[in-house]
């Protein structure tokens, strides 16, 4: 418990003791004094808040409801009730603050990724400092069992690291010299030295912390609804209570004290605390549960939307497939194979496209800027450059068609990269990519959940695309798309969907940022070590295991279920007590107990969101 919580608890106990004493002491004046002190002790802060609200003419809130309810209780001489209303209200508040603290803590457990110190080597000596004091370029040393404090590149030693704290799955990764290590992962076996590549404030850990902490700012529709609801709700309740207090005595000749009593019951029951607190708490819990699984959700609005996903669109290369190509066939025409490969790989040598990387690796070519001029990378098509003074084109059918070059179409599976030299066809290089081992299961999990359509978009040729679509049982495949076509297809899918449905796009965040932004929900993967992935999307998967999408939908559905349960449960109980109150069956005690009871149950229920 925090200091503040302890203070409230002490006030609750003291005020309850005074209340008890007041009911035992029969002496009128003395007993009254005890009631007043019990009431003021527990309620003074609420009275002050309510008073401030009136002074500033700001909108009425729960404090105001409680204040007038209890002041009226005093006026009609229901002293124990006045204290009790405040007491239970404060118990509810205390309970809610403990619950909130608990879910914060459980998110903090994920935040356990945050390293406390870094051991940096300065002037040949090891010094322990706080991670944010380490500069780029400094060398840090990490021993087995220690958390990796900063994003760095290994310069000495080898080890394996555990990424479980970030990805939610324990998969030790072997690391040796020149490999990147990511802050927040744990060094398992060897002592390593590494050169720091970014400051702590830019590190993966900081980015994740920042993201999760600010996630509650992007409010869901349900939360916004409750806030707006509370705005006009409280004034209406106050006016109704006033009518309840005044009208029956004037029209029916009831006694004022009995009508005011009914009005107090009404005020207490109408307090919306259970909803105001339990709904955000549920979303908070859902976001926490997801982050423990290595799924970062940037706001409750996305968690809410995720529950109505109908279409999931995947990018192909690097998302459904590994994005690591290898050359499987080389065929040359008009030129020697050696010359065709040499010019093609020099043209590709500056590109970081996965296809380019595979060709460069195959021919073991070093980039040589002095031999390559007018380099142009045409996205979705390939490369055009002048190499050793020759005009070289390397890319797909579209690129060849654009230049009016006739090409051969091989009958082999894989992606065909055509090469033309000085406008004469020179042959092709076939490269193939592997489907990720988890993709098939990921698609099946979505299908089993009853998602409408799984869709694949790719710039690759139809034959390869269809083969991969069939292998993964994807329901729709769109191939030969330029990056802007991917946005268009996504827009069409969104336009065609039923109202209230949601289309999500999942990509690697590197060359598909426009689509990520255009989709209702953008999901990027591989956040560990990639800033682009974290920034471009609404939901971020720490690793690139697509099965996490189904998990995220599950968590989202569960959260929404709990939110709806809480809303309907508290409304039903409250309406019930109100009816009893109108029939003069319910008294203030029943109202107070039902109010606190509903709140406790709703809060406990929303805590279930934390567990998956």
Judged by the rule CB under 5 A, the positions of this chain that interact with Mg ion are 315, 317
Distance of alpha carbon 339 from alpha carbon 185, whole angstroms: 46
Among 62, 151, 460, 520, contact with ligand ADP (rule: CB under 6 A) = 460
Question: Among residues 129 and 350, whose Cβ is nearest to ligand ADP?
Answer: 350
Question: Among residues 211 and 515, whose Cβ is nearest to Mg ion?
Answer: 515
Q: Are strands 521-524 and 502-507 parallel, antiparallel or unpaired?
A: parallel
By CB under 6 A, tell whether 396 contacts ligand ADP. yes
By CB under 6 A, the residues from 11 to 40 that bind ligand ADP are none
**Shortest Cβ distance from residue 433 to ligand ADP (Å)?**
9
Question: Among residues 292 and 316, whose Cβ is nearest to Mg ion?
Answer: 316
The CA angle 68-73-76, to the nearest 5 degrees, is 125
Q: Is 315 a catalytic residue?
A: yes
Size of the site for ligand ADP (CB under 6 A): 22
Question: Among residues 286 and 323, whose Cβ is nearest to Mg ion?
Answer: 323
**Shortest Cβ distance from residue 312 to Mg ion (Å)?**
16
Question: Among residues 347 and 552, whose Cβ is nearest to ligand ADP?
Answer: 347
By CB under 6 A, tell whether 472 contacts ligand ADP. no
- Per DSSP, the residues of 160-194 read EEE-HHHHSS---EEE-TT-EE-TT-EE-SS-EEE
Distance of alpha carbon 90 from alpha carbon 39, whole angstroms: 12
**Shortest Cβ distance from residue 487 to ligand ADP (Å)?**
12
By CB under 6 A, the residues from 65 to 94 that bind ligand ADP are none
Decide if 183 contacts 201 (C-beta within 8 A). no
**Shortest Cβ distance from residue 445 to ligand ADP (Å)?**
23
Decide if 175 contacts 159 (C-beta within 8 A). yes
Q: Are strands 125-129 and 118-122 parallel, antiparallel or unpaired?
A: antiparallel
Distance of alpha carbon 127 from alpha carbon 88, whole angstroms: 53
Among 277, 417, 456, 487, contact with ligand ADP (rule: CB under 6 A) = 417
Among 259, 332, 358, 415, contact with ligand ADP (rule: CB under 6 A) = 415
Distance of alpha carbon 589 from alpha carbon 265, whole angstroms: 9
Which of the choices Mg ion, ligand ADP, none does residue 415 contact, using the CB cut-off of 5 to 8 A by kind?
ligand ADP
Decide if 433 contacts 450 (C-beta within 8 A). no
**Shortest Cβ distance from residue 366 to ligand ADP (Å)?**
17
**Shortest Cβ distance from residue 394 to ligand ADP (Å)?**
5
Distance of alpha carbon 264 from alpha carbon 607, whole angstroms: 31
Residue at token pair 């744990």: 186
Q: State the first-to-last Cα distance of the chain, in angstroms, to the nearest integer.
A: 26
Decide if 119 contacts 127 (C-beta within 8 A). yes
Which of the choices ligand ADP, Mg ion, none does residue 559 contact, using the CB cut-off of 5 to 8 A by kind?
none
**Shortest Cβ distance from residue 465 to ligand ADP (Å)?**
8
Question: Among residues 193 and 463, whose Cβ is nearest to ligand ADP?
Answer: 463
By CB under 6 A, the residues from 289 to 328 that bind ligand ADP are 315-317
x/- track of binding to ligand ADP for residues 478-507 (CB under 6 A): -----x------------------------
Nearest to 262 by CA among 244, 247, 246: 244
Distance of alpha carbon 12 from alpha carbon 5, whole angstroms: 11
Decide if 592 contacts 268 (C-beta within 8 A). yes
Which of the choices Mg ion, ligand ADP, none does residue 380 contact, using the CB cut-off of 5 to 8 A by kind?
ligand ADP
Among 185, 204, 458, 490, contact with ligand ADP (rule: CB under 6 A) = 458
Tokens of 320: 């459904």
x/- track of binding to ligand ADP for residues 555-594 (CB under 6 A): ----------------------------------------
Which part of the chain contacts ligand ADP (CB under 6 A), choosing from 92-100, 241-249, 276-284, 453-461?
Answer: 453-461
| Run of H or E including 59 | none
Q: What Cα–Cα distance (Å) separates residue 29 from each residue in 32, 35, 65, 86, 100?
A: 5, 10, 28, 22, 41
- Selecting among 162, 315, 512, 545, the annotated active-site residue is 315
**Shortest Cβ distance from residue 463 to Mg ion (Å)?**
18
Distance of alpha carbon 151 from alpha carbon 356, whole angstroms: 27
Instruction: Indicate the SS3 state at residue 297.
Output: strand
Distance of alpha carbon 15 from alpha carbon 388, whole angstroms: 90
**Shortest Cβ distance from residue 191 to Mg ion (Å)?**
38
Which part of the chain contacts ligand ADP (CB under 6 A), choosing from 241-249, 326-334, 392-400, 565-573?
Answer: 392-400
x/- track of binding to ligand ADP for residues 509-548 (CB under 6 A): --x-------------------------------------
Which of the choices ligand ADP, Mg ion, none does residue 581 contact, using the CB cut-off of 5 to 8 A by kind?
none
Q: What Cα–Cα distance (Å) separates residue 349 from each residue in 74, 80, 377, 387?
A: 84, 83, 11, 11
Q: Looking at beta carbons, which residue is closest to Mg ion? A: 317
For 134-169, b/e burial (b = at least 16 CB within 10 A) is: beeebbbbbeeebbbbbbbebeebebbbbbebbbbe
By CB under 6 A, tell whether 469 contacts ligand ADP. no
Question: Among residues 68 and 312, whose Cβ is nearest to Mg ion?
Answer: 312
By CB under 6 A, the residues from 343 to 382 that bind ligand ADP are 348, 351, 353, 355-356, 380-382
Largest CA distance in the chain: 115
Among 272, 414, 459, 526, contact with ligand ADP (rule: CB under 6 A) = 459
- Per DSSP, the residues of 249-278 read IIII---HHHHHHHHHHHHHHH--HHHHHH
Residues designated as active site: 315
Question: Which residues lie near ligand ADP (CB under 6 A)?
Answer: 315-317, 348, 351, 353, 355-356, 380-383, 394-396, 415, 417, 458-460, 483, 511
């Amino acid at each position: 418990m925090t200091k503040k919580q302890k203070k409230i608890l002490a006030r609750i106990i003291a005020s309850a003791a005074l209340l008890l004493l007041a009911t035992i002491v029969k002496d009128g004046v003395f007993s009254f004094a005890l009631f007043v002190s019990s009431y003021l002790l527990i309620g003074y802060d609420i009275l002050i808040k309510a008073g401030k609200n009136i002074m500033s003419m700001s909108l009425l809130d729960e404090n105001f409801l409680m204040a007038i309810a209890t002041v009226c209780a005093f006026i009609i001489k229901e002293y124990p009730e006045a204290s009790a209303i405040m007491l239970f209200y404060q118990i509810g508040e205390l309970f809610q603050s403990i619950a909130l603290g608990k879910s914060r803590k459980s998110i903090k457990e994920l935040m356990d990724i945050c390293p406390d110190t870094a051991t940096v080597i300065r002037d040949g000596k090891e010094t322990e400092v706080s991670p944010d004091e380490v500069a780029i370029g400094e060398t840090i040393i990490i021993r087995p069992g220690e958390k990796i404090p900063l994003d760095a590149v290994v310069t000495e030693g080898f080890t394996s690291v555990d990424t479980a704290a970030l990805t939610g799955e324990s998969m030790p990764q072997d690391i040796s010299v020149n490999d990147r290590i990511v802050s927040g992962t744990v060094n398992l076996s060897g002592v390593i030295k590494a050169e720091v590549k970014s400051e702590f404030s830019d590190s993966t850990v900081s980015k994740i912390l920042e993201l999760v902490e600010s996630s509650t700012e992007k409010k869901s529709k349900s939360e916004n609804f409750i806030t707006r609801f509370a705005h006009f709700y409280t004034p209406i309740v106050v006016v109704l209570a006033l009518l309840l207090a005044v009208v029956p005595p004037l029209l029916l000749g009831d006694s004022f004290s009995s009508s005011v009593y009914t009005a107090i019951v009404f005020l207490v029951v109408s307090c919306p605390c259970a909803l105001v607190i339990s709904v955000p708490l549920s979303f908070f819990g859902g976001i926490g549960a997801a982050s423990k699984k290595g799924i970062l959700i940037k706001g409750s609005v996305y968690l809410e939307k995720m529950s109505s996903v109908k279409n999931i669109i995947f990018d192909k290369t690097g998302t459904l497939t590994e994005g690591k190509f290898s050359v499987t066939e080389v065929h040359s025409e008009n030129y020697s194979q050696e010359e065709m490969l040499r010019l093609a790989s020099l043209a590709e040598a500056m590109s970081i496209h996965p296809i380019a990387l595979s060709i460069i690796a195959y021919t073991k070519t070093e980039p040589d800027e002095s031999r390559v001029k007018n380099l142009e990378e045409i996205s979705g098509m390939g490369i055009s450059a002048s190499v050793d003074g020759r005009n070289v084109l390397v890319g797909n059918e579209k690129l060849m068609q654009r230049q009016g070059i006739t090409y051969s179409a091989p009958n082999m599976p894989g992606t065909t990269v055509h090469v033309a030299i000085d406008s004469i066809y020179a042959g092709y290089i076939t490269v193939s990519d592997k489907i990720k081992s988890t993709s098939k299961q990921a698609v099946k999990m979505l299908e089993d959940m009853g998602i409408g359509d799984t869709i694949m978009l790719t710039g690759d040729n139809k034959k390869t695309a269809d083969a991969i679509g069939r292998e993964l049982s994807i329901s729709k495949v769109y191939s030969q798309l330029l990056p802007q076509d991917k946005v268009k297809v996504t827009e069409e899918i969104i336009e065609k969907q039923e109202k209230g449905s949601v289309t999500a796009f999942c990509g690697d965040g590197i060359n598909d940022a426009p689509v990520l932004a255009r989709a209702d929900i953008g999901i990027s993967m591989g956040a560990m070590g990639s800033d682009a992935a974290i920034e471009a999307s609404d939901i971020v998967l720490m690793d690139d295991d697509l099965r996490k999408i189904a998990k995220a939908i599950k968590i989202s559905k569960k959260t929404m279920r709990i939110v709806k349960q809480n809303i309907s449960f508290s409304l039903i109980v409250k309406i019930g007590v109100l009816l009893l109150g109108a029939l003069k069956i319910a008294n203030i005690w029943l109202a107070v107990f039902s109010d606190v009871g509903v709140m406790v149950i709703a809060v406990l229920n929303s805590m279930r969101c934390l567990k998956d």
